[in-house]
A and B are shown apart, each in its own frame.
Chain A
Amino acid sequence: MALPNPQPSFDAPIPGQALVAELGSRPWQQPAQYSTIEEAVDFYIAKMSSDEAAVQIEDILEMGVSVADLAHIIQLSNVMEGVHSIDVGVMATPVLIEFIMLIGDSADIKYKTGLEDDNKAIEKTLINRAMKKFKAEEDKKSAEPVEVTDEPQGETKDEKINQLTGLMARRI
């Protein structure tokens, strides 16, 4: 159990301190190292083709991280390091996804792609919910007693007469 600190710490960062860094002091505020997609793709392919990187990627895939998430994390971390801009990163992500899949396939790993449509899952739950509601209503209806009336069902005699309006119709 942590004891309460009797004296307040004055060394802690001031709230918002991270936002007041000098302009240009962060890597992403500098011109990107690679400004074109070709350069960025070359950088990634060269980096990920090494055995060390491939083994690391295989480990991560085996942990259950989806390919799309991994590609996103890789490109985002490189944006933070000032390797390329965000737009170049987004454009390079499909190549990263495909290359990570290639690494996963070559290592015979059953990986999650992360490309599955979330809407399908939502649709399924909505359908299940609607079916449940429908079933409950059906059960409720079947449980209610049916009212028995003395009036004969079907068409009355007057209605039948009104229907026979043709010339050749038999008169009653």
Chain B
Amino acid sequence: MTRQLNPGVLAYTNINSVKLEEEKKPMGSGLLSPRSRENKSSKNLEPYERVATYVMAIREQREELKNGSS
């Protein structure tokens, strides 16, 4: 019943499938080096991506806590 009445459950399960873009390694700074596109700043991220970053950050903390205690 929880799933049907709570849209947050659906949001949470869908957040898990969001793949955040990995940070690209900095390119060379020479004049002839290919120009890389500017990385998306946090302001340019979509709302669901921003939520995903928060969830990932808290999850990391939780996993650290679990691994530390076990």
B1-26 Cβ-contact flags toward A at 8 Å (1 or 0): 11111111101110100000000000
- Smallest Cβ distance from B69 to chain A, in angstroms? 8
Known A38-B50, A106-B65; contact A94-B2, beta-carbon cutoff 8 A: no
CA A115 to CA B13, docked complex, whole Å: 8
A interface, over-half SS: helix
B interface, over-half SS: helix
When distances are taken between beta carbons in the complex, the residues of chain B under 8 Å from A69 are: 2, 6
Stretch of A10-18, A54-62, A85-93 that contacts chain B: A85-93
CA A68 to CA B13, docked complex, whole Å: 11
- Say whether A98 faces chain B, with CB atoms less than 8 Å apart: yes
Number of interface residues of B (CB under 8 A): 26
Q: Are A114 and B47 in contact (CB under 8 A)?
A: no
Q: List 6 A-B pairs, minimum CB-CB distance, nearest first.
A: A93-B8, A94-B12, A98-B58, A114-B2, A72-B6, A94-B15
Known: A91-B48, A95-B51, A102-B61. 5 other contacts (CB 8 A): A66-B2, A72-B8, A90-B8, A95-B58, A105-B62
Name 20 A/B residue pairs within 8 A (Cβ), A-sorted: A37-B50, A72-B9, A90-B7, A91-B47, A91-B48, A91-B51, A93-B6, A93-B7, A93-B12, A94-B8, A94-B11, A98-B55, A99-B58, A106-B65, A108-B69, A114-B2, A114-B9, A115-B9, A118-B1, A118-B2
